[in-house]
Amino acid sequence: MRVPLAIVGNGGAAAEAVVALRAHAYAGDIHLFADNQDAPYNPMLGTYLISGAIPLERAFPFGDGHRFYEDHGVTTHLGQAVTALDAAEQRLTTGDGSAYSYDYCLVATGARPAVPPVLGLREALAAPGGAQERRVFTLRSFSDAAGLKETLACLRSRPGEPARVAVVGASFVGIKVASLVHDLGMRVCLIEREPHILPLSAHPDCARPMEDHLLEQGYELRLGAALAGVEMGPFGVRLDFGALPGAADPSGAKGTACEESTTQEDVDLVVVCAGIRTSLDLLAAGQVDTAEGILVDERMRSSIPTLYAAGDVAQGKNLLSGRHEIIGSWASARYQGRAAGRSLAGAPAGYPGGVPHNITHVGRLLFASVGCIKDYDRMTICRDGNSLQVRVWQGERLAGVNLLDCCLNAGTMKQALLRAATGAVTNTGATWISFNG
């Protein structure tokens, strides 16, 4: 079968592309392929959905039935993962063996949770079973959130001591999951390979007070901890810690909550939050320019003119670094999807790029990160009562900011960095003052 436009994926990027296509008078057929049966889902609301902070329908920002697809004249192939995409031949194949030729294709397959190379972890994640039996999860899709919610409810209804949950990876997602579990009254053990929480986005000087705060709140922290194996059993899940070079204690115990140094721990549940991997496996090797994701220009075109990409799978421009990078955020996915839709509809389009930024509660503290705090020549720290600002500079350019408990400034900081990086303002000192004034 030949289709004029194939969209692979049904997240925020795909949905925005559909909206933009129809808004710009694209009248052709749109065939959308998804490996699930859902309406476009917002993964960043997973923890709120599980805690009950939002109702089910809020997690589906484009509507929670299939009305969205019908209203926009989309022919859906739901539950049909695209398993192979030959961009040179303009052909895709789905899991049931059906083949489709296309004129244009938008890849909006997003990303999936990374699974670190831990003995027994993949098997434990794939193990069948209901809410009582499943004890190892990742959190990305709606079905992940629904499954985790059910298992947490089972553990909460169990008599006796509160359940103990290990969160593997103190990433933004890991911190959100740890907070969810803690607020549900369970014990949390946050395990991180690096010596500090939020290793990709928090400067150690900002991470330390957050770690102290989490310990005060009763979280267990295992930092610099090398998780080597997981084993399912009647005890729940047994975690084996190996040795990291230079680590005094392989279990990474920190603080008063876990002073004994052991190399095995039993927990009731494990949630793996160790980063993401872009969903690129469908692409035939060597055809399209890729790095971590599909490299795209401002119109979301890949190196093959008939293939577009948007969202977490696409590597657009980071306006601060000037490099093509994955900016895994809901807003970025939507902007890119919109640009792809306009572009495919033949309307003027261009998404020049984005800025990495994120904000989350860490216990009761509010933490925001804008830009990159990894490579810098100089840093400044500003403390005001309980609030903290870390700013890092590359030469004269402000490259990244951490804000702790003063996050109302996050939006203005982002604008300041952007203006400085894109040359709209050359004196960063003035930018900083004017944006804070």
Ligand X SMILES: Cc1cc2nc3c(=O)[nH]c(=O)nc-3n(C[C@H](O)[C@H](O)[C@H](O)COP(=O)(O)OP(=O)(O)OC[C@H]3O[C@@H](n4cnc5c(N)ncnc54)[C@H](O)[C@@H]3O)c2cc1C
- Residues 11 and 331: beta-carbon distance below 8 Å: no
Q: How far, in Å, CA of 363 to CA of 215, rounded?
A: 10
Q: Is 10 in the site for ligand X (CB under 6 A)?
A: yes
Q: Is 178 in the site for ligand X (CB under 6 A)?
A: no
Q: In 3-state terms, what secondary structure has residue 301?
A: strand
Q: Is 173 in the site for ligand X (CB under 6 A)?
A: yes
Q: Is 82 in the site for ligand X (CB under 6 A)?
A: yes
Q: Which of 53, 67, 56, 54 is nearest to 15 (CA)?
A: 67
Q: Is 140 in the site for ligand X (CB under 6 A)?
A: yes
Q: Which is nearer to ligand X, 45 or 226 (CB)?
A: 45
Q: How far, in Å, CA of 111 to CA of 30, rounded?
A: 22
Chain position carrying tokens 């979280």 = 219
**x/- map, 91-130, ligand X, by CB under 6 A:** -----------------xxxx-------------------
Q: Which is nearer to ligand X, 316 or 328 (CB)?
A: 328
Stretches 17-25, 66-74, 181-189, 325-333: which one binds ligand X (CB under 6 A)? 325-333
Chain position carrying tokens 């192979």 = 84
Least distance CB 52 / ligand X (angstroms): 16
Q: Is 330 in the site for ligand X (CB under 6 A)?
A: yes
Site for ligand X in 338-367 (CB under 6 A): 358
Count of all residues that appear for the chain in the document: 437
Biggest CA–CA distance in the chain, Å, is 66
Q: Is 333 in the site for ligand X (CB under 6 A)?
A: yes
Among 6, 74, 106, 139, binds ligand X (CB under 6 A): 139
Stretches 61-69, 134-142, 202-210, 284-292: which one binds ligand X (CB under 6 A)? 134-142
Q: Which is nearer to ligand X, 281 or 377 (CB)?
A: 281
Q: How far, in Å, CA of 380 to CA of 428, rounded?
A: 14
Among 17, 34, 258, 401, binds ligand X (CB under 6 A): 34
- Residues 19 and 40: beta-carbon distance below 8 Å: no
**x/- map, 242-271, ligand X, by CB under 6 A:** ------------------------------
Among 53, 88, 243, 331, binds ligand X (CB under 6 A): 331
Stretches 21-29, 36-44, 288-296, 299-307: which one binds ligand X (CB under 6 A)? 36-44
Angle between helices 12-23 and 330-344 (to 10 degrees): 30
Q: Is 174 in the site for ligand X (CB under 6 A)?
A: no
Torsion angle in degrees (nearest 10) through CA of 337, 340, 344, 349: 120
* The two three-digit tokens of residue 70, written as one number: 């019908």
Any idea what the Cα angle at residue 148 is, between residues 37 and 235, rounded to 5°?
140
Chain position carrying tokens 């500079």 = 393
Site for ligand X in 373-392 (CB under 6 A): none
Q: Which is nearer to ligand X, 254 or 357 (CB)?
A: 357
Q: Give Cα 95 to chain centroid, integer Å.
A: 25
Any idea what the Cα angle at residue 215 is, between residues 213 and 220, rounded to 5°?
140
* The two three-digit tokens of residue 266, written as one number: 């039993």
In the complex, which residues of this chain contact ligand X (CB under 6 A)? 8-14, 33-36, 43-44, 46-47, 81-82, 108-111, 139-141, 173, 176, 279, 282, 311-312, 328-331, 333, 358
